[in-house]
Amino acid sequence: MTYYNAVFSPKQYQSVTDKAAKYYLESAKSAPIPLIIADIPDAKQYVHVKFAEATGTTGGLEWTEHGQKMNVRHDKEVFMIPRYQGLIQIHNKDIQNFGSQFLGDVHEAEVQELVKTIDDGMFHGPKSEQGIQMQEGFIGQLTSIQDKTSAGGHDCSTKGEIWHVIKELIEDIPYAMREEGPDIVMWINEKTIAEAQAPDRIYQDMVEWDFIYNQFIGPKAVHGRKIGQVIITNKINAEASDDTDGNSADSVDVLGTDGRIMMCVPDKRWIARVVSRGFSLIGEERHMLSVDQLYGYRGRVCVFNGDACNYTEALSF
């Protein structure tokens, strides 16, 4: 990238990154995942150190200087951090029109598209211009749970089965994680929430979603079994590029037909959005008739302990 003297004031450039950050916080479905800022700016790798439980403690009556020394085993895992970029082109004849307007306002659509691409990548991994997945996203790092309806399958057409699957998802996460960490975050696709809220889907004398709310979401829900945030999004629908472990877990979902639910305990010990470069201007290149501005972001959802997360197989209704 060739750098020239800045065409606009610093406030103009900052307006693009500020707007992108604002859009992400307000609309990104991956925003509730805890954030870790990498120590090295723009780093392409993140090294996560894993510690096992300490060993060597004993009980008894008399003190002794002999015996096993306490020990903590540790290991490390390296995560590659992809980049996302968007190129904005501004024609010279339009530059004079930016005197009183910020770049971020004028190029709002481009900023929104960049944020959408990043948010999609958090779930499904970054894709090249040809649509080829470069790395696994959040979904591809999980192992889906299978056959969790009361009948041992994935058919949720019977009233009460959505509640049963959510219950199984929660209880499949170790209680120690649920107790120590924050309340659970649950993503649910539109098909599943629509079925759960259907007025004729009565379970335990109430609409099934109301029963789910009373049990796991509302004020009667207790920590350790409580869903603190519900996010409705079709971004958790499995795509052809996803490589989720589990039988038929990564079958491509049909929009409006297949159901999906995903959840996690949002504690950065177990899952995080690792970011080494926030929304920022990478560089600017001036041509004879236009100016190109490259804005970028480098980050990824890293699952450090899959036990804290759950993803269903495709649910049918």
Residue 317 falls inside a structural domain: no
Residues 129 and 149 in one domain: no
Residues 27 and 129 in one domain: yes
Residue 70 falls inside a structural domain: no
DSSP for residue 104: H
Rounded to whole angstroms, the Cα distance separating 179 from 176 reads 5
Q: Which residue has the tokens 């058919």?
A: 155
Residues 185 and 131 in one domain: no
Give me the number of domains the chain comprises: 2
CATH code at position 129: 3.30.2400.30
Residue 22: partners with Cβ closer than 8 Å, 6 or more residues away: none
Residues 87 and 163 in one domain: no
pLDDT in tens, the chain (317 residues): 444 456 667 777 788 888 889 889 889 999 999 999 999 999 999 999 876 667 778 888 888 887 778 877 777 899 999 999 998 888 776 666 665 566 777 778 888 899 999 999 999 999 988 888 889 999 999 988 888 898 888 999 999 999 999 999 999 999 999 999 999 999 999 999 999 999 999 999 999 999 999 999 999 999 999 999 999 999 999 988 887 665 555 578 899 999 999 999 999 999 999 999 999 989 888 888 878 889 999 999 999 999 999 999 999 99
Residues 204 and 129 in one domain: no
3-state helix, strand, coil in the chain (%, to 5): 30, 30, 45
Rounded to whole angstroms, the Cα distance separating 24 from 154 reads 33
Rounded to whole angstroms, the Cα distance separating 48 from 217 reads 32
Residues 26 and 106 in one domain: yes
Question: Strands 184-188 and 261-264, how do they pair?
Answer: antiparallel
Residue 67 falls inside a structural domain: no
Residues 83 and 232 in one domain: no
Q: Which amino acid is at 70?
A: M
Rounded to whole angstroms, the Cα distance separating 69 from 7 reads 64
What is the layout of strands, in order, in the sheet containing 83-91?
35-37, 271-286, 290-303, 83-91
Residues 245 and 294 in one domain: no
Rounded to whole angstroms, the Cα distance separating 304 from 79 reads 10
